[in-house]
């Protein structure tokens, strides 16, 4: 009997020793538990994350992240080990960096395994990861630190791996580097991350168990392809799990990931989303095995890149020296300056963007004047107003990158219109190409069935007019040039809204600016319009909320469209401009106007067909 008991004891010891090798068959992520701990210990974290989320949503809405090129993130990997097997090789670390670049850049070999129904949503986030070449003190580095610890393992409950005093390694400047700690975590944990603003600044980063980092050496299936780190870096870049850590009604703040009720494990190929369609189990932010993960979506990409747009939580990382070799920041002067939409009193000044620029300073003056008028913007255009007619002007642009100002560009010259003899400018490079006026009083008459007559007021000295019109939701623009101040259009579709605008042409070849855009609905009689409301009021509305100084804008463009929004004062001076963004058909636009002083303004929305739609409103 003693012999049988000894054999049983040996067998139990053998199988107990094997359990840690076999038990980890389902993915688990400790990020949510870590966040809950931070929220309980420091209530300020909740407010910081709310602030980050508001800025992220605003940057996504205005598509500011799309204006950036490839975002390169310097990475430092802190290997903290108690046993030699945990001190993973440089090659294993580099294999993980390769996986990050493939997964975030949509060059992963298994991208072709993405189900056909999700291929249209698959995105290259244009985020790159590189091991740092310079440490925070300006010294050269390979981006890897190694620390022997007296701690057998670490857990997110005390975050000890991130502090030297607790047996770990202190982070490098978390505003300038992505800190990744590789160590032995407690049983069942693959890794965890800190959301933007989701904890102490000095603890910002990602922690991965040494058995699930990279694609070689100590890694173990089914988490042996580096996707644990891809998943956790997704959290570090503000992505939630695709089920939003709640039931179907819980939002992950991404529109193109179908809502699901819970996580998926293994490779659940026939799993369903909340709407009955297929679940996106191949998304890197699910819990499936490494071999089944292969996609970030456009919505996720927008959300991640929003962190690096102006005001974004990780914006400073664009200007880190972590990837430099003591190379100073150099700000380039903008190029391709241009003056368009020149009238007697105003002009639109534009220039090409400068990589990494936070802002631009535009200055202009009348030729011969000693003083410049200047203003700083975070966009690549400005509307210069209150100019004088028939006057020669020059303007220059300066960029600011990481607090460093460039030199001013060479001057671009232009002449305002309004010269009685329409003579050419005596200044080389300046031509009088603008007009003194544009058509006004646009209205529709003789409208019935599938035809209508478009009318406008005569422009002094105009010899002909160019009319452009299109149906709502169509990018096809019809043009007609004629001598009269009206045009009959046919073959319209009853019930469909149409937009039109008019431009005056002059004998010397000049073309004036287009008029405002007017709209009408084919087949809707003038009598019916008069009995209800103005033809232009029923497709574009602005509703102010005085409680929080926000505005809800509804505009019916007929289809999803790339739009640009500008807010001007009633003298035409530009007050606010939003970067172009994609508007889904039928979706309202929510704008925060707290920074806009109280008063009367005009909002101008320009669609991707170049048609501008304007409304006055009171803030």
Chain centre to alpha carbon of residue 604: 21
For 299, list phi and psi in degrees, rounded to 5: -65, -40
Tell me the H-state helices in 107-157: none
> Which residue, among 220, 223, 225, has the nearest Cα to 98 in the 3D structure?
225
| Three-class SS of 340-377 | ECCCCCCEEEECCCCCCCCEEEEEEEECCCCCCEEEEE
Contacts of 33 (CB under 8 A, 6+ apart): 156, 192
* Cβ neighbours of 19 (radius 10 Å): 10
State how far the Cα of 346 lies from the Cα of 337, in Å rounded to an integer: 16
Contact (CB, 8 A) for 468 and 500? yes
> Which residue, among 65, 59, 67, 63, has the nearest Cα to 353 in the 3D structure?
67
Residue 8: enclosing H or E segment and its boundaries? helix 2-22
> Which residue, among 530, 535, 523, 537, has the nearest Cα to 446 in the 3D structure?
523
Strand order in the sheet with 338-340: 338-340, 347-350, 381-384
Q: Which of 51, 53, 91, 232 is catalytic?
A: 232
What is the CA angle 103-106-110, rounded to 5? 75
Contacts of 569 (CB under 8 A, 6+ apart): 575, 599, 600, 601, 602
State how far the Cα of 256 lies from the Cα of 265, in Å rounded to an integer: 21
State how far the Cα of 614 lies from the Cα of 513, in Å rounded to an integer: 16
Assign 196 to helix, strand or coil.
Answer: coil
Contact (CB, 8 A) for 447 and 412? no
State how far the Cα of 481 lies from the Cα of 503, in Å rounded to an integer: 9
Contacts of 392 (CB under 8 A, 6+ apart): 366, 367, 413, 414, 415, 425, 427, 430
Is position 249 annotated as part of the catalytic site?
Answer: no
Could you give the count of Cα atoms lying within 13 Å of 562 in the half-sphere of its Cβ? 8
State how far the Cα of 544 lies from the Cα of 204, in Å rounded to an integer: 39
Catalytic residues: 232
């Amino acid at each position: 009997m003693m012999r049988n008991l000894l054999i049983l004891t040996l067998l139990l010891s053998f199988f107990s020793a094997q359990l840690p090798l076999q038990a980890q068959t389902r993915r688990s992520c400790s990020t949510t538990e870590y966040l809950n701990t931070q929220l309980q210990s420091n209530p300020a974290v909740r407010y910081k994350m709310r602030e980050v989320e508001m800025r992220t949503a605003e940057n996504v809405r205005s598509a500011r992240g799309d204006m950036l090129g490839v975002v390169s993130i310097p990475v430092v990997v802190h290997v903290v080990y108690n046993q030699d097997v945990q001190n993973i090789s440089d090659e294993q670390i580099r294999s993980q960096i390769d996986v990050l670049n493939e997964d975030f850049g949509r060059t992963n070999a298994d991208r072709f395994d993405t189900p056909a129904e999700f291929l249209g949503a698959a995105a290259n986030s244009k985020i790159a990861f590189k091991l740092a070449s310079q440490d925070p003190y300006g010294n050269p580095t390979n981006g890897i630190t190694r620390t022997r610890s007296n701690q057998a393992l670490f857990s997110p409950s005390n975050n000890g791996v991130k502090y030297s005093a607790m047996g770990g390694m202190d982070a490098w400047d978390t505003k300038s580097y992505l800190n990744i700690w590789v160590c032995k975590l407690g049983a069942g944990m693959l890794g965890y991350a800190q959301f933007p603003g989701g904890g102490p600044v000095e603890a910002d980063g990602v922690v991965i168990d040494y058995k699930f980092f990279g694609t070689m050496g100590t890694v173990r299936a089914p988490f042996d392809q580096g996707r644990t780190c891809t998943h956790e870096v997704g959290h570090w870049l503000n992505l939630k799990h695709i089920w939003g850590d709640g039931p179907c009604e819980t939002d992950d703040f991404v529109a193109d990931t179908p809502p699901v009720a819970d996580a998926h494990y293994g490779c659940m190929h026939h799993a369903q989303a909340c709407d009955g369609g297929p679940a996106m189990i191949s998304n890197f932010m699910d819990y499936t095995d490494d071999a089944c993960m292969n996609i970030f979506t456009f919505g996720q990409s927008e959300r991640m890149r929003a962190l690096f747009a102006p005001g974004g939580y990780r914006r400073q990382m664009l200007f880190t020296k972590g990837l430099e070799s003591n190379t100073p920041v150099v700000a380039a002067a903008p190029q391709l300056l241009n003056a368009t939409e020149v009238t007697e009193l105003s002009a639109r000044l534009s220039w090409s963007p400068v990589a990494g620029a936070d802002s631009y300073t535009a200055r202009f003056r009348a030729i011969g004047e000693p003083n410049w008028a200047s203003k700083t913007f975070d966009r690549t255009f400005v509307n210069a107003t209150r100019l004088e007619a028939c006057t020669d002007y020059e303007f220059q642009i300066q960029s600011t990158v990481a607090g460093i100002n460039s030199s001013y560009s060479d001057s671009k010259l232009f002449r305002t219109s309004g010269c009685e003899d329409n003579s050419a400018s005596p200044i080389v490079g300046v031509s009088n190409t603008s007009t003194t006026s544009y058509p006004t009083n646009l209205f529709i008459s003789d409208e019935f069935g599938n035809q209508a007559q478009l009318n406008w007021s005569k422009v002094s000295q105009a010899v002909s007019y160019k009319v452009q019109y299109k149906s709502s939701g169509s990018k096809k623009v019809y043009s007609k040039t004629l001598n009269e101040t009206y045009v009959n259009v046919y073959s319209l579709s009853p019930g469909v809204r149409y937009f039109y605008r008019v431009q005056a042409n002059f004998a010397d070849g000049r073309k004036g600016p287009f008029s405002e855009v007017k709209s009408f609905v084919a087949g809707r009689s003038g009598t019916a319009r008069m009995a209800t409301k103005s033809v232009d009021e029923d497709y574009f509305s602005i509703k102010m909320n005085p409680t929080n100084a926000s505005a809800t804008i509804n505009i019916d463009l007929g289809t999803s469209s790339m739009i640009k929004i500008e807010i001007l004062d009633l003298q035409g001076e530009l007050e606010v401009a939003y970067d172009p963004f994609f508007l889904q058909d039928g979706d309202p636009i929510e704008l925060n106007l707290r920074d806009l002083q109280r008063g009367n303004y005009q909002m101008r929305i320009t669609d991707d067909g170049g048609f501008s739609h304007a409304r006055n409103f009171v803030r």
